[in-house]
């Protein structure tokens, strides 16, 4: 059985003080689940505070992005080493908002993923289609192309060290959620596509669902055979709601 992962993507929310308050709420609540790995991904300005507060706890810390470069004249960028020195162990790559607002390509995400793996970080690589693409019946074409691009050059070893997250763009922050059956169908397709690289590694690969996951719909999603947890947005900013999702796993 694959380990469930529940990761909270806080996006551009939470000052340091707000980060500390939210994390204390998680630590004081029943946020520990032996069947699930719990990850929080605060903004860069709160990573150090989060790592210090969570040191020795059951909650892991992730970054929301990183550079493909180890160092250099890249204003505003953050390297894998910088994340590691804080105590970060995961990093989100290729989120739809990075693709949309910063024109990130599959090729760039692939290079970032290789840099993360080389440094020892676990990348959570995001893929997913827009509403226009879904309504045009292009979900598998779009998602398949993204998989081929972001995982180019990867073999069984690399697949064993990363996480995929299917996030239908039309369900992010909209309140619209794919039904468990709809999400499962795409997750099954993703696993089958990755099987083309290595079947055994694909069977063990954690694939998360991201798209308006909440405490009241998480269980139905997580019960699906190919859904291994969630990449949670807004609901991860409320301790009680996020704990409900963790418990659902």
How many residues appear in the chain?
249
Instruction: Enumerate the β-bridge partners of residue 55.
Output: none
Which three-class secondary structure state does DSSP give residue 38? Answer: strand
Active site residue 167: yes
Q: How many other CB atoms are there within 10 angstroms of residue 55's CB atom?
A: 10
- Residue 45, helix vs strand vs coil: helix
Catalytic residue (one of 68, 95, 97, 241): 95
Catalytic residue chosen out of the listed positions 97, 104, 167, 241:
167
Residue 220, CA atoms < 13 Å, CB-side half-sphere: 12
Distance CA 78, CA 71 (A): 8
The 10 Å Cβ neighbour count of residue 168 is 27
Q: 163 is written with which tokens? A: 């996480």
> Is 95 one of the annotated active-site residues of the chain?
yes
Task: Write the DSSP symbol of residue 196.
Answer: T
Nearest to 139 by CA among 127, 151, 148: 127
**Distance separating alpha carbons of residues 184 and 178, to the nearest angstrom:** 9
| CA pair distance 128, 48, nearest whole angstrom | 30
Roughly how many angstroms between the first and final C-alpha of the chain, as a whole number?
13
Catalytic residue IDs: 95, 167
């Amino acid at each position: 059985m694959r380990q469930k992962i529940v990761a909270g993507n806080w996006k551009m929310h939470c000052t340091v003080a707000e980060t500390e308050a939210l994390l204390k709420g998680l630590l004081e609540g029943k946020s520990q689940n032996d069947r699930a790995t719990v990850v929080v991904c605060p903004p860069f300005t709160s990573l150090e505070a989060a790592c210090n507060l969570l040191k020795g706890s059951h909650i892991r810390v992730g970054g929301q992005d990183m550079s493909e470069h180890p160092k250099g004249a890249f204003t505003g960028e953050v390297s894998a080493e910088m994340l590691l020195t804080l105590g970060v162990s995961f990093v989100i790559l290729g989120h739809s908002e990075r693709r949309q607002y910063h024109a990130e390509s599959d090729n760039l995400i692939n290079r970032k993923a290789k840099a993360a793996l080389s440094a020892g970080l676990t990348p959570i690589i995001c893929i997913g289609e827009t509403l226009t693409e879904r309504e045009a019946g292009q979900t598998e074409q779009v998602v398949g192309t993204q998989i081929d691009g972001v995982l180019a050059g990867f073999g069984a070893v690399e697949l064993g060290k990363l996480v995929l997250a299917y996030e239908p763009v039309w369900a992010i922050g909209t309140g619209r959620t794919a039904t468990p059956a709809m999400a499962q169908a795409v997750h099954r397709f993703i696993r089958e596509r990755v099987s083309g690289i290595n079947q055994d590694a694909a069977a063990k690969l954690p694939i998360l669902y991201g798209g308006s996951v909440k405490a009241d719909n998480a269980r139905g999603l997580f019960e699906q055979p190919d859904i291994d947890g969630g990449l949670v947005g807004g609901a991860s900013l409320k301790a009680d709601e996020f704990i409900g999702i963790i418990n659902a796993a």
